[in-house]
């Protein structure tokens, strides 16, 4: 069992209610260039492990400080191109948080939904925000859709 240790100040009963827009994130259906806008997204506060367990959030970070939603810095849901290991993927950001480490670094972390409905976690520095009409994003989305229909 993976245990996430949270700062005691982040007890669920002391936090404002999160805004979950749509159905459960962790069980997203595949999407395409027209249906991505209907994806659920998590805003309003940083997610807790109970939010992840309930399928309302993609991730919850522990062992960090001063967590905060990225809010207006990244409107959700947001089409993105995610760069990972010399590859690029179409995705939609559905959760965005900033956290500080013990060393004073700031981690800007995103919860992503991939075209097949699976979720992933990425750093903001590894994505490009794009418009849903971006030809590269749409091509990557089409390629992922073609793989799903095989």
**Predicted local distance difference test score (pLDDT) of residue 139:** 97
Mean pLDDT over residues 68-72, rounded?
A: 89
Which residues, 6+ apart, have CB-to-CB distance to 61 below 8 Å? 4, 46, 67, 97, 99, 107, 109
Query: Tens of pLDDT along 32-55?
Result: 999 999 999 999 999 999 999 888
What's the pTM?
A: 0.82
Where along the chain do its domains lie? 19-148
**Tokens, residue 37:** 């806008």
């Amino acid at each position: 069992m993976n245990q996430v240790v949270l700062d005691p100040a982040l007890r669920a009963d002391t936090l404002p209610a999160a805004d979950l827009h749509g159905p459960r994130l962790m069980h997203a259906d595949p999407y395409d260039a027209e249906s991505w806008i209907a994806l659920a997204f998590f805003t309003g506060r940083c997610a807790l492990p109970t939010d992840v367990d309930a399928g309302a959030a993609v991730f919850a970070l522990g062992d960090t400080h001063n967590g905060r939603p990225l809010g207006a810095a990244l409107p959700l849901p947001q089409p993105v191109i995610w760069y990972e290991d010399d590859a690029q993927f179409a995705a939609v950001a559905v959760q965005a948080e900033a956290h500080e480490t013990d060393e004073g670094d700031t981690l800007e972390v995103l919860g992503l939904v991939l075209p097949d409905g699976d979720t992933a976690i990425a750093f903001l520095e590894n994505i490009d925000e794009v418009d849903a009409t971006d030809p590269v994003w749409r091509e990557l989305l089409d390629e992922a859709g073609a793989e799903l229909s095989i």
